[in-house]
Amino acid sequence: MAWTDYHTHCDFCDGAERPLAYVEAALDREVVALGFSSHAPLPFPAPWCIGRGQWPSTIERYRTEIESLKRVYRGRLSVWVGLEVDYIPGLVGPADAAFASFDYRIGAVHFVGRTREGLPWQMDDTPQSFEHGLEELYGGDIRTLVEAYFRALGEMAWLERPDIVAHFDLVKKYNAGGRYFDEGETWYRSLAEEALRVVARSGCMLELNTGGMARGWTDEPYPSPWLLSRCRDLGIPMTLDSDCHRGADVAFAFREAASVLAGAGYAELMTLGREGWRPTGFDRRGLCLGSTRVAA
């Protein structure tokens, strides 16, 4: 049995370690395909992204280093070089030509609305900034914020068509204990399901993302387990990703996450090979591969 993990962050963006540390961890954890997905540059300062002031030299060094690992570990581990690209209407998105040559693109929404200074507001920065933005930009109305988030996510999937839509319900990151909303409320479920239907029509994949669990923000993956049965009903293909920021979290809680997926009716995960993305059977123990790796 084996795993794939396509959402990782090394020290080219906000990850803690050099790419080699993630490769070594992957080899120790029965991971047969490892994708690097550093945060793509933004058109304004953001310390957690590949620096725009150093573009394109830094992003080319990133690509060169991962491509080198791809060659060195061929036959032992399939290594891929991707990007996580933010969607900010009018500024940046996964469909931008500058990102087209990478092996794949993960599309993400971290910014919703704008500050009084006209700058995009990062929704998931810190608990304090989330509360401040909710009050200042949305008048304390969490429903309006959630609606803006899911609307942006649907727009990204439909207009930009990334390979993978990242952490579908990231808006719950600071909602431990139902601090801001109850996921069982009709309005919340309606907004989430509407966004899921757009993702389904777009043909994009979703990921079951364990990053919030690894960093202690959530007790369950993105998206929440109750959404997975709807994903399955809508025919949305799925990857299983850690969104890790250190080698120790490669394939974090994948067995637990695979059980959640299987319980929702999923029997296949999407894997990347020479001919593109394809469905691969899996069960609670991992991917059901005829060989020991996914060919790069």
- How far from 2 is each of 31, 73, 240, 290, CA to CA, in Å? 6, 17, 12, 11
Amino acid at 98: A
> Is there a cis peptide before residue 19, judged by omega within 30 degrees of 0?
no
- pLDDT given for residue 57 in this prediction: 81
pLDDT band at 182, cuts 50/70/90? very high
Bridge partners, 209 (sequence order): 222, 241
Output the CA torsion sign for 103, 247, 238, 262.
positive
- Mean pLDDT value across residues 5-25: 97
Q: Copy the structure tokens of residue 293.
A: 């790796």
- Give the single-character DSSP code of 174: T
In percent, the amount of the chain with pLDDT more than 70 equals 96
pLDDT in tens, 211-241: 999 999 999 999 999 999 999 999 999 999 9
Instruction: Express as a percent the part of the chain with pLDDT over 90.
Output: 92
Q: How buried is 51 (Cβ within 10 angstroms: 0-12 exposed, 13-18 middle, 19+ buried)?
A: middle
Query: What confidence category does residue 10 fall into, taking pLDDT thresholds of 50, 70 and 90?
Result: very high
Residue 85 clears pLDDT 50, i.e. is over it:
yes
Convert the pLDDT of each residue in 30-55 to its tens digit: 999 999 999 999 999 899 999 755 65
Q: What is the pLDDT of residues 126-176, one digit of tens each?
A: 999 999 999 999 999 999 999 999 999 999 999 999 999 999 999 999 999
What's the CA gap between 225 and 230, in Å, rounded? 10
Task: Give mean pLDDT, residues 58-77.
Answer: 96
Phi then psi for residue 94, to 5 deg, are -60, -20
Beta-bridge mates of residue 115: none
Q: What pLDDT does 271 receive?
A: 98
> What global pTM score does this model have?
0.95
199 neighbors 165 (Cβ within 8 angstroms): yes
Q: Is-contact 62 81, C-beta < 8 A?
A: yes
Class of domain 3-287: alpha beta
Return the half-sphere exposure (C-beta side, CA atoms, 13 A cut-off) of residue 2: 20
Choose between 192 and 117: higher pLDDT. 192
Judged against a pLDDT cut of 50, whether residue 250 lies above it is answered with yes
Domain ranges of the chain: 3-287
- What's the pLDDT tens digit per position in 187-213? 999 999 999 999 999 999 999 999 999
Return the structure tokens found at 17. 């370690």
For the chain, give the mean pLDDT. 95
pLDDT bucket at 292, cuts 50 / 70 / 90: very low
